[in-house]
Amino acid sequence: MNAREKILQLRSTSPLILPSLLLCDFGDLRSELELLAKAGIQALHLDVMDGLFVPNMTYGMPIIEGLARHTELPLDVHLMIQEPSRYIEQFGAAGANLITVHVEACSDLPATLKQIHELGIASGVALNPDTELDAILPCLELCDLVLCMSVNAGFGGQEFNPVAIEKVKQLVEIRERRQLNFVLEVDGGINVETIGDCYSAGATWFVAGSSIFKQQCYQQAVTDLTAAATA
């Protein structure tokens, strides 16, 4: 089983809660992984920022390599970097199972998505709240996942922008009409108040940061998010 197949085994998991490690305690990462595993987490979300495409910087390949050595959970790697094609091979070698790139950051999105697939990794495309769906429509056949950002990429803890819900609804219709099979993921401001509308619209994967890592009990936080999605 290659990296792509491993994470796409979760394609039908609905809802799937993916904790964004941007807000975890990196000083005690092993304990954080243990707590997330006990909470029933099935995949991890990693936000990589370069300080160019977004006005913030996070971690890179070494953190992903370390995570891959210490967990069997698939890694959903969200590249918020300019011209990500320069680093796709390195992130794949580091242990990414899914690599999502921003349409706004790619000069040749189809080539970048093909590059990801050629490495046996699942491919995703993300779009910011202000980006129209037309920007990604020609490339949907190359996507295993579409990530609708409900905040502007670059910082955690922002308020949810409901424009993502409308995009999800439109993408569900397009997916059915074109007989495609990409997963719909939402990232940004996901909590017990916002997840239900996203799930009802057709999204099935949800990136959660503050709503997990700022809670006392991760397991209860995941339970609450799952219940709120399906209520």
Give the residue numbers marked as catalytic: 47, 187
Q: Strands, DSSP E only, in the chain? A: 16-19, 44-49, 75-80, 98-102, 122-127, 145-149, 183-187, 205-208
Q: How far is CA 168 from CA 173, 177, 191, in A?
A: 9, 14, 17
- Give the C-alpha distances (Å, rounded to integers) separating 65 from 14, 19, 73, 77, 94: 28, 18, 13, 12, 5
- For tokens 């990693």, what's the residue? 46
Dist. CA 174–CA 159, nearest whole Å:
27
Give the span between the Cα atoms of 80 and 47, in whole angstroms.
7
Q: Which residues contact 15 (CB under 8 A, 6 or more apart)?
A: 195, 199, 204, 205, 206, 225, 226, 229, 230
State the maximum Cα–Cα separation within the chain, in Å, rounded to a whole number.
Answer: 47
Eight-state DSSP code of residue 27 = G
